[in-house]
């Protein structure tokens, strides 16, 4: 078969990289083609992600592949850290820089949430660890403080979905990144709409949840022309970085445990359902 060139962009909480995977039908070779730092920015007492620079870094990875003259790109996949998101207005424009998960606006929000919905009930509907920076508490903070950004929002996209949108114009939410939000029901695989309603979080800003591995579109023609690459397929991979790491564990069968070490370490097993 013809050799496939697959580009992966892995955005961590402190650095990112672009990887080229070459697959000839039997063997996969991986080469790092671009690496960059991911530096939060503090402005007026809040902490943000420098989202446009991160997008620029992804473009640099595409340019480096183009100049290497290794043929066409078969697919592009992106994974990032969890919980954080960008907000789009009704025209599809980004409303400000996304907040960093360690921004102080979520201080006290767990207690606020538990006053409205009991802790056990939130866990029953979402099934993940309580962390003060989960998407639930970020959005609750914006709702309680009457955030003008939230009031102007038409669509919420998590970080990998936001990068996919920048590349293709398609708005979608991948399953594994949605599962980090504490706003998704892992049993039904859908948003926890009842919980959102009780907390006053607008449900209309969320897109449908798509399965990992869904082809969401092709590279925007203007971007392809500017960067001198072909209109490759953009795939909504297991876009939470831990999900991609676990998917790549070199083990077969079901009798194994993984340890994934990044900003912190996670130990667990891979199951067919929660």
- Residues that are catalytic: 241
Both tokens assigned to 224: 């392809």
Q: Tokens at residue 246, please?
A: 């676990």
How many CB atoms are closer than 10 A to CB 257? 10
What is the Cα–Cα distance from 217 to 102, expressed in whole angstroms?
A: 32
Q: What are phi and psi of 5, to 5 degrees?
A: -105, 120
- How many Å apart are CA 218 and CA 76, to the nearest integer? 9
């Amino acid at each position: 078969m013809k050799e496939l060139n697959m580009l992966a962009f892995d955005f961590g909480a402190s650095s990112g990289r672009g990887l080229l995977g070459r697959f000839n039908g039997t063997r996969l070779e991986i080469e790092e083609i671009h690496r960059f730092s991911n530096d939060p920015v503090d402005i007026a007492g809040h902490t943000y992600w420098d989202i446009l620079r991160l997008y620029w870094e992804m473009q640099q990875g595409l340019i480096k592949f183009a100049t290497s003259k290794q043929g066409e790109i078969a697919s592009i996949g992106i994974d990032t850290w969890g919980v954080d998101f960008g907000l789009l207005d009704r025209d599809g424009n980004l409303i400000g820089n996304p907040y960093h998960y360690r921004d102080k606006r979520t201080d006290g929000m767990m207690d606020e949430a538990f006053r409205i919905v009991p802790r056990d009930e939130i866990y029953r509907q979402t099934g993940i660890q309580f962390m003060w920076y989960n998407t639930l508490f970020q959005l609750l903070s914006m709702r309680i403080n009457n955030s003008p950004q939230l009031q102007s929002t038409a669509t919420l996209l998590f970080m990998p979905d936001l990068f996919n949108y920048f590349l293709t114009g398609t708005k979608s939410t991948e399953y594994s990144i949605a599962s980090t939000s504490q706003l998704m029901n892992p049993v039904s695989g859908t948003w926890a709409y009842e919980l959102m309603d009780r907390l006053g979080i607008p449900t209309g800003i969320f897109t449908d949840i798509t399965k990992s591995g869904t082809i969401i579109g092709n590279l925007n023609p203007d971007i392809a022309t500017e960067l001198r690459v072909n209109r490759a397929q953009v795939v909504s991979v297991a876009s939470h970085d831990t999900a991609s790491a676990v998917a790549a564990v070199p083990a077969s069968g079901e009798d194994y445990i993984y340890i994934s070490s990044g900003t912190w370490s996670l130990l667990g097993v891979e199951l067919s359902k929660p």
